[in-house]
């Protein structure tokens, strides 16, 4: 889950009465552009590196195009703030964060994800605080606790990571911090026989 899209900006951004498909299908077009590029159809753009870096880190290796596409087609990409910013490094307003809470829970209710990976501390610090922290720390005090949201009868763990477009220094620390855990480990929520670290297993399955 990212923070917001970056667009040229307009007075109608975020207005649910607007039916412009260019706006409503922004995320879909981004993911399709990623897939097309990995399939050899489309020019490189610098923002593609953010997603490539994210997928590689979750797999603990540089993945090939087929693995990358399979991953994209197995997850839900979602930006929390329901209006765009008009430039890089520009934060949405506090009101825009607050106004986006309802949509967040609508997405959780519809998709009920097994894991919510939150890009960046600014977004993490502004997410709804009506859930609960896990008892176990999977990284020995290094920002290793899940925060659980519950919708209907399902508890969904959320976890904050450095934004994949972070500076080299920050992201190298992120690589070091998560190098012990593969994507299969992090998503091992219900697999009773999965081979994972005992502490991680207790944290993820305690729902």
- Spatial separation of the C-alpha atoms in residues 62 and 83, rounded to whole Å: 33
Q: What is the pLDDT at residue 200? A: 34
Question: Model pTM?
Answer: 0.72
Average pLDDT of the chain?
A: 74
Cα–Cα distance measured from residue 67 to residue 90, given in angstroms and rounded to the nearest whole number: 32
% of the chain exceeding 90 in pLDDT: 25
Q: Of 153 and 139, which is predicted with more confidence? A: 153
Phi first, then psi: what are they for 178, rounded to 5°?
Answer: -105, 5
CATH class of the region 21-205? alpha beta
Of the two residues 99 and 18, the one the predictor is more confident about is 99
Q: Look at the block and give the residue holding tokens 């290793």.
A: 144
For residues 134-161, one letter each, b for 16 or more C-beta atoms within 10 angstroms of the residue's C-beta and e for the rest, the string is bebebeeeeebbbbbbeeeeebbbbbbb
Q: What angle do CA 109, 16, 20 make, to 5 degrees?
A: 115
* Mean pLDDT of all residues in 166-180: 53
Alpha-carbon distance 204 to 177, whole Å?
18
DSSP 101-119: HHHHHHHHHHH--S-EEEE
């Amino acid at each position: 889950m990212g923070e917001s899209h970056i667009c040229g900006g307009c007075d109608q951004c975020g207005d649910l009465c607007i039916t412009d498909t260019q706006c409503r299908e922004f995320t879909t077009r981004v993911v399709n552009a990623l897939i097309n590029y990995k399939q050899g159809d489309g020019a490189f753009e610098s923002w593609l590196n953010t997603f490539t870096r994210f997928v590689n880190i979750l797999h603990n290796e540089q993945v090939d195009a087929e693995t990358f596409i399979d991953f994209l087609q197995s997850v839900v990409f979602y930006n929390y703030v329901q209006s765009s910013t008009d430039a890089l490094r520009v934060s949405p307003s506090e009101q825009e964060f607050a106004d986006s809470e309802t949509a967040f829970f609508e997405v959780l209710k519809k998709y009920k994800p097994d894991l919510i990976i939150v890009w960046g501390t600014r977004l993490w610090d502004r997410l709804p605080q009506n859930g609960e922290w896990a008892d176990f720390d999977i990284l020995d005090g290094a920002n290793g606790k899940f925060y659980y949201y519950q919708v209907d009868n399902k508890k969904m763990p959320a976890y904050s990571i450095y934004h994949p477009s972070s500076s080299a220094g920050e992201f190298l620390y992120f690589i070091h911090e998560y190098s012990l855990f593969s994507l299969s480990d992090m998503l091992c929520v219900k697999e009773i026989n999965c081979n994972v670290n005992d502490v991680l297993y207790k944290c993820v399955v305690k729902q």
